[in-house]
Chain A
Amino acid sequence: MSQSQSQSDLNHSESYPEGRRGFMAHVLAAAIGGFVGLVPFASGLAFFLDPLIRKRKGGSGDGFVKLPITVEALEINGEPQLVKIIMDKVDAWNTYRNQPVGAVYLRRVASDKVIVFNQRCPHLGCAVDYKPAEKNYFCPCHTSAFGLDGVKQNDIPPRGLDELEVSIRNNTEVWVKFQNFRATTPDKIPVA
Chain B
Amino acid sequence: MNALVNWIDDRTGLKKLMHEALYEHIPGGARWRYVWGSTLVYTFTIQVITGIFLATAYSPSTTTAWESVYHIQNHMQFGWLVRGLHHFSAQAMTVLLAIHLMQVVIDGAYKAPREVNFWLGLILMQIVLGLGLTGYLLPWDQKGYYATQVSTEIMGATPVVGPQLQQLAQGGPQYGHHTLTRFFAMHVMILPATLVAFLVLHIAVFRRHGITVPDPDRAPGVAFWPDQVLKDAVACLVVLATVLGLTYFKGAELSAPADPSEAFSAARPEWYFLFLFQFLRFEWVEHQGLAFGAIYLPGLLMLILTAMPIFGRWKLGHWFNIAFMMAMMVGIIGLTGLALKNDAKDPDFQAAVKQAHDDSERIKVLAERPDGIPLEGAVSLLRNDPLTQGPRLFARNCAPCHRYDGHDGTGREVAKIVTKDGVKVRELEQATATDLGKFGTQEWLKGVITDYAKTFAPLSNAGEKVKKHFVDDSEMADWSKSHAQHWRVGENEKSLDDLTAFLQAQGGRVSPKPNLDEAAVKRGREIFTSGKLAVGQIESKCTDCHSLKPRGEETVLGESGTAPTLTGYAGADWLRDFLKNPGHAQFYGENNAMPAFGDRLSEKELGLLVRWMVGDFE
Contacts and interface: CB of A to CB of B under 8 A. Distances in A.
Given A16-B222, A32-B237, A40 B229 contact: no
Contact of A47 (B77, B208, B210, B237): B77
A58 interface: no
Interface residues of B, number: 52
Contacts of B56: 48
Contacts of A9: 23-25, 223
A95 B401 CA distance: 43
A98 to B, nearest CB: 13
A133 interface: no
Nearest to A96: B375
Interface in A61-110: 90, 92-97
Interface SS, A side: helix
B296 interface: no
A37 B53 CA distance: 15
Chain B CB count within 10 A is highest, among A22, A26, A39, for: A39
A35 to B, nearest CB: 7
Interface string B340-383: 00000000000000000000000000010011111100000000
Interface string B563-606: 00000000000000000000000000000000000000000000
A46 interface: yes
B529 interface: no
A96 B373 CA distance: 10
B237 A44 contact: no
B76 interface: yes
B70 to A, nearest CB: 7
A47 B79 contact: yes
B415 interface: no
A92 B23 contact: no
B46 interface: yes
Interface in B16-65: 19-20, 23-25, 42, 45-46, 49-50, 52-53, 56-57
Nearest to B375: A94
A40 B77 contact: no
B229 A35 contact: no
B431 interface: no
A46 B229 CA distance: 28
Interface in B195-250: 207-210, 222-223, 225-227, 229-230, 232-234, 236-237, 240, 244
A50 B77 contact: yes
A93 B240 contact: no
B24 A29 contact: no
B77 A39 contact: no
B234 to A, nearest CB: 6
A56 to B, nearest CB: 10
A74 B459 CA distance: 75
A171 interface: no
B448 interface: no
A92 B50 contact: no
Chain A CB count within 10 A is highest, among B77, B209, B237, for: B77
Given A9-B223, A16-B222, A92 B46 contact: no
Contacts of B52: 44
A43 B50 contact: yes
B81 interface: yes
B68 interface: yes
Contact of B23 (A10, A35, A54): A10
Contact of A29 (B78, B210, B225): B225
A44 B227 contact: no
B76 A26 contact: no
Interface string A7-41: 00110010010000010011011101101110111
A43 B77 contact: no
B77 A16 contact: no
B85 interface: yes
A159 to B, nearest CB: 33
B25 A1 contact: yes
Contacts of B208: 1
B75 interface: yes
Given A25-B230, A33-B233, A43 B81 contact: yes
A49 interface: yes
Contacts of A47: 53, 57, 72, 76-79, 81-82
The 5 closest A-B pairs by CB, nearest first: A44-B53, A9-B25, A32-B233, A29-B230, A29-B226
Interface of A: 1, 5-6, 9-10, 13, 16, 22, 25-26, 28-30, 32-33, 35-37, 39-41, 43-50, 53-54, 90, 92-97
10 contacts: A5-B25, A29-B227, A29-B233, A32-B234, A33-B236, A40-B82, A46-B81, A93-B372, A94-B67, A95-B370
Interface of B: 19-20, 23-25, 42, 45-46, 49-50, 52-53, 56-57, 67-68, 70-72, 75-79, 81-82, 85, 207-210, 222-223, 225-227, 229-230, 232-234, 236-237, 240, 244, 367, 370-375
